Structure 1
C-alpha cells in the first residue's frame, strides 16, 4: 500500500513538474484553463488502475490519441500565446524607438507644454512703463497688434498682468470764448476737441468708438458710442459688446443704409444682436424718417446675407423733381419654400403719400411658374391727381 501511495505521489510530482511551466507560459485565462485541464487529464491517465490502462493501451489508436492529445492541445495554446506576445513586443518596438545614449522621459498630459501665446506688438510716439504695477502707457498714434486684431487710438493703456487694454481718444485743443470769465470756465463753458478715436480692426470687421476695453485672453471687448459698417449698412450703439469675431450685442442702437452722418431714415432698437454676414435681430424696433417716428414693431430681423432669406427689407432714400423726397422698398420678404415666396413693400412720397405693393411668386423648374401682384395708392400716375387707385 505504501509503495502504491509513494508511486502515486511520484507520478503526480512528475506531471506537476511538466504542467507548471506550460500553464505559466500561457497568456490568457482561457489558455491557462485548457493547459491545466490537459495536464490533469494526462495525470489521470498515467495514474489510473493498471487494468483500465492496459485495456486502453490494448487499443493502439485510442491509446495514442489519449496520450498525445493533451500534449498537442497544450502545445497549440502555448505556441499561440507566444506568437501574440511576439506580435505585441514588435508593435511596441515600432511605436517606441529610443536611440542609443538617450534617456526616456515620461510625462502626463497635464504636464505637457502648452501652446505659446502670440506676441503683442506695440507702437506709439510716446511710451511710459509703470513697472511696479505692470501698466504700459502709449500716447499719440498708439497701435497694438495681437494675432489678427489691431487697435489704433490716441491713448492706449495696457495692463500686462490682467492682459486688459483700454483705448481712448486724444484731447487736442480746449476752446474758450474770449469774453469768458473763470467762473464761466468752471461751469463747463469750454469745449474740448478730440482726435485719433479708437478703432478696432479684426479681419474685415472695423469698429470706431470713443472708448474701448479689450481682453486679450477672452478676445471680448466693450466699445462705448461705437459706429461700424456691416454688409452695406451702418449701425451705431451707445454700447457695443464684442462677444466674438462674428457676434456683436448692441445697446440702444441704430441701423440704416444711408451714408450721411445724419441719415434721412434709420431703425432704432433698444437691443440688437448682429451676426456678421447673416442677420440682425432687434427688439423692439422703431422706424424714423429724419427725426419723426413712423412705424413700430415689437420684433424684427434683417437679413444681411445675399440669397433667399426671410426678413425685413431695408428701404432706399432719394429725391425726385415731381415727388420730392421719397423712401422706397420698406417691407418684408417671406421665403415660404424652394418654389414659393411672397413680398410686401411700402413706398412713401412727400407729394402723394403712400404706395403699397404685394406679390406672390411661384416657380417649379420645368413644370410651372407665375406671379400674382397688386398695389394701392392715392395718386393717379396718369392724371397726377391724388385719389385711391388699385
Structure 2
C-alpha cells in the first residue's frame, strides 16, 4: 500500500520505525509533517536515517521504500545527501537521487553528496549505506586547486573513486573552457589522481598530443605533480598556454618549478625556478628563462 504525506504549515515531526513501516494503518496516524519535518527509520541499516522533504513523501509499504520530492534531504551517519528526488529502499539499504529541469531547461535540485570532507555534485547517483559503494553520473568535484568531472563514477568503501570519461581542469565553469580529457582515472583521497590515456582540449578542440598516463597531486601542502596551463589570447602572439609544466618538492629545504609558455603564432618561453631555505641561516631562489618571440 502506498501512503502519501502532503506537508502542511505547522511545526511537527514523525518517527517511523521498522514496525511502523510494516503497519500502514499506524503510519497514517503519524502523518503530522511540514517542510521542516524530520522522519527517522532503521531497518537493514546499522544506524538511524534522518530524511525530510519540502514537498511530499511517499511510503510504499509493499516495497519498503520511502520516496521524497522537492528539496529532499537524507542524513546517515556522516553522509549528507540533498536532491530534488530521493528514494530510499529500506530492505537493501540502497538510495537513489536525481534532479530535474525546469521549464527553461535549467537544472533544479541536482544531487549534492557529502561524506566528511569529501563532496561532489552529480546528475544522478545510487548508493548503498551498508557496503559504502555507489555509482554516480555527471559528477563534478573540487580536488585541491582543480576540478574533476566524471561521466561515470564508481564510489568505493575506502573512499577511492574510479572515473570513466573524465575531465580535469582549473576552470570552475560547469563546461570548462579547457581541460585534460581523461579516458579512465582513479582518485586516491589526500594523495593523487592517477589517469590513463589523456589529452588536452581547448574550447572543445582536442590538441593532438596524447599522454599515455600520469597523475595530479591531490593532497594539502606541497606535493610533486603536473602544473596545468592558463589559457588565453594576446593580439600580437595569438592564443597561449602559460605556466604548464611540473613541480618537484625535493625536501623542506628546496623545490623546483619547470614551466613553459606556448603561443599559437610561434612564440614560446621556458623557465626553471628553484627556491631554497635553511631556517635562521639563509634563503633564496634561482631563476633561469629562455624565450623565442615572434611578432
Map of 1:118 onto structure 2: 47
C-alpha displacement of 1:141: 1.8
Instruction: Work out whether 1:354 is the aligned partner of 2:268.
Output: yes
C-alpha contact 1:208 1:228 (8 A) present in aligned 2: yes
Instruction: Find the partner of 1:297 among 211, 224, 228.
Output: 211
Deviations 1:173-209 (A, max 9, x none): 4x9xxxxxxxxxxxxxxxx765211111223332111
State the secondary structure of the residue aligned to 2:131.
coil
The structure with the largest helix share of the pair is 1
Match for residue 153 of structure 1 among 53, 61, 83? 83
Deviates more, 1:119-128 or 1:273-282: 273-282
Partner of 2:119: 206
Q: 1:243 aligns with which of 156, 160, 165?
A: 156
Pick aligned residue for 2:258 from 331, 341, 344? 344
Q: CA deviation at 1:377?
A: 2.6
Which secondary structure does the structure 1 equivalent of 2:196 belong to?
Answer: strand
Counterpart Cα distance in 2 of 1:201 and 1:170: 20
Partner of 2:65: 135
Distance in 2 (CA, whole Å) between partners of 1:171 and 1:290 is 25
Please tell me whether residue 269 in structure 1 is matched to residue 199 in structure 2: no
CA distance in 1, matches of 2:192, 2:101: 37
1:323 to 1:245, Cα distance in 2 relative to 1, 3 A = farther
Structure 1 residues 130, 350: closer, same or farther in 2, change over 3 A? same
Comparing 126-135 with 299-308, greater Cα deviation is found at: 299-308
Relative to structure 1, the CA distance from residue 136 to residue 345 in structure 2 (aligned partners, 3 Å threshold; closer, same or farther) is same
Moved more, 290-299 or 128-137: 290-299
Q: Alignment partner for residue 170 of structure 1, among 89, 92, 100?
A: 100
Cα contact 1:230–1:276 (8 A) shared by 2: no
Unaligned runs of 5+ in 1: 1-115, 176-191, 380-384
Partners of 2:102 and 2:176 lie apart in 1 by 28
Whether 1:313 aligns to 2:227 is yes
Aligned counterparts, 1:1-390, within 5 A: 117-124=46-53, 125-170=55-100, 172-173=102-103, 195-244=108-157, 246-294=159-207, 295-320=209-234, 323=237, 325-337=239-251, 339-359=253-273, 373-379=287-293, 385-386=294-295
Q: Provide the C-alpha distance between the structure 1 equivalents of 2:58 and 2:281, rounded to a whole number of angstroms.
A: 74
| CA 122–308 in structure 1, closer or farther in 2 if over 3 Å, else same | closer
Q: Secondary structure at the match of 2:174?
A: coil
Question: TM-score when scaled to structure 1?
Answer: 0.56
- Name the larger-Rg structure: 1
Q: Per the alignment, do residues 208 and 308 of structure 1 end up closer, same or farther by CA in structure 2, a change over 3 Å counting?
A: closer
How far apart in 1 are the matches of 2:277 and 2:77? 48
User: What secondary structure sits across from 1:161 in the alignment?
Assistant: coil
Contact in 2 for aligned 1:120/1:146 (Cα 8 Å): yes
TM-score for both structures, normalised by structure 2: 0.73
Give the conservation status (yes or no) of the 8 Å contact 1:348–1:354: yes
Q: Distance in 2 between matches of 1:310 and 1:232?
A: 14
